[in-house]
Amino acid sequence: MSKGIRDKVAIIGMGCTKFGEHWDKGAEDLLVESYVEAIADAGIEKKDIQAVWYGSCNDEYSFGKSAIALSQTLKLPFIPVTRVENMCATGSEAIRGAAYSIAAGVHDVCLAIGVEKLKDTGFGGLGEVAANSGLKGKLILPSYSGPGGFALLATKYFAKYGLSAEKGKEVLAMVSAKSHANGCLNPKAHLRKHITVEMVMKAPMIAWPLGLFDCCGVSDGSAAAIVCRADLAKNFRDDPVLIKAMQIAASSGEELMYQGSWDGSYVMTGAHCAKKTYEEAGIKNPREEIDMMEVHDCFSITELVTYEDLQISARGKAPDDVKDGFYNLDGKIPCQPDGGLKCFGHPIGASGLRMMYEMYKQLQGKADKRQLKDPKIGLTHNMGGVPYQNVVSINILGL
């Protein structure tokens, strides 16, 4: 019977660029920057890396297809390099591939790395959504937008749990303001300005009820991780971080095609993925056992419903936890201690690894002004797609 990869793989080095508008750098420059930091952090040389998993999503604009460009950029010595893509979970997919190879006993030391140059696309968002969904997507979703899809999630949530438009928007504004307060403390974040709840509520509307400050930005960036066998980790450093669980789930089609149990007020894939993740990690009560989180806050409503999908807040009770400061930096379970997508933007191939970078630094006690008090377990959550059809990746790291 399968037992997962709990405590079989360790992270011994990570690197992350500053996210932002890098008009003076190409994807190659960003990859080199995160890679150099990661191998220096691990105390290894290029020759120690046995295989690489590389994540990028928008190959038309970023770095092209295949893994050749990555191998040539890092001057890798004819080793296996695999390019992966899984929508917004691409960065998480890269480290999952590297970690699974280690856990399977195929390799001892691997590199996972991701990058995206979204600013070079010229789009204000992620580009033409329908074009990334194949021929069927072009036919049935010709005018679809990310903000529009998640706005529907917000209105359904408000209606189901009896939130007025004003009260609902106020809760979402508190989520965004919290993340910006954290991002101000992070020199690698793109957007480092305090915003108030009032500013969020008065911001220009994008797709009601989501205003400008309810949406994450568009950025360039890269992040990388060095993983190895857990029993070898202490040979490289005294404070390695262990992978406790790695799960990924994709929509079955039930949400979109059938009038089943899904009511549009949560993300069904996330709820299923969370259950499997906790089983693999041996977590019985996530509200008591998780110390911190980085979740996929592409929109403020996404973060709000994720609190519940992850079984941290009870269904319909996330607004109460937000108001109580439960997810603030000084709260019970800080969420987005680095500022999240809200302050970093979302260079797709890098975001999942960027989340893990924050958990890694926090667990080692190296998060500077954002440092939490003695965290032991951190969770990352990546979501690609829209509420009714998506892929969700959840990882748990610990000491």
* Tens-place pLDDT, residues 123-164: 666 655 555 667 776 776 666 788 999 999 999 999 999 999
pTM of the model: 0.95
Residue 298 appears among annotated catalytic residues: no
Residue 88 appears among annotated catalytic residues: yes
pLDDT at 258: 64
pLDDT at 119: 83
Nearest in space to 103 (alpha carbons), one of 223, 35, 197, 4: 4
CA distances from 136 to 139, 250, 302, 385, 391 (A): 5, 18, 25, 15, 18
Active-site annotation holder among 88, 110, 228, 273: 88
pLDDT at 125: 63
pLDDT at 126: 62
Structural domains in the chain plus CATH codes: 9-124+222-235 (3.40.47.10), 141-216+244-398 (3.40.47.10)
pLDDT at 2: 75
pLDDT at 127: 58
Active-site annotation holder among 107, 180, 190, 346: 346
CA distances from 79 to 14, 92, 110, 226, 376 (A): 20, 21, 11, 15, 35
What average pLDDT values come out for the chain (399 residues) when binned by 10 residues?
Answer: 89 98 94 98 97 89 83 96 94 97 98 92 62 69 81 97 97 98 97 96 96 94 98 97 98 78 92 97 98 98 98 98 98 98 95 98 97 98 92 97
pLDDT at 134: 72
Rounded distance between C-alpha atoms, residue 53 and residue 106, angstroms: 14
* Tens-place pLDDT, residues 294-334: 999 999 999 999 999 999 999 999 999 999 999 999 999 99
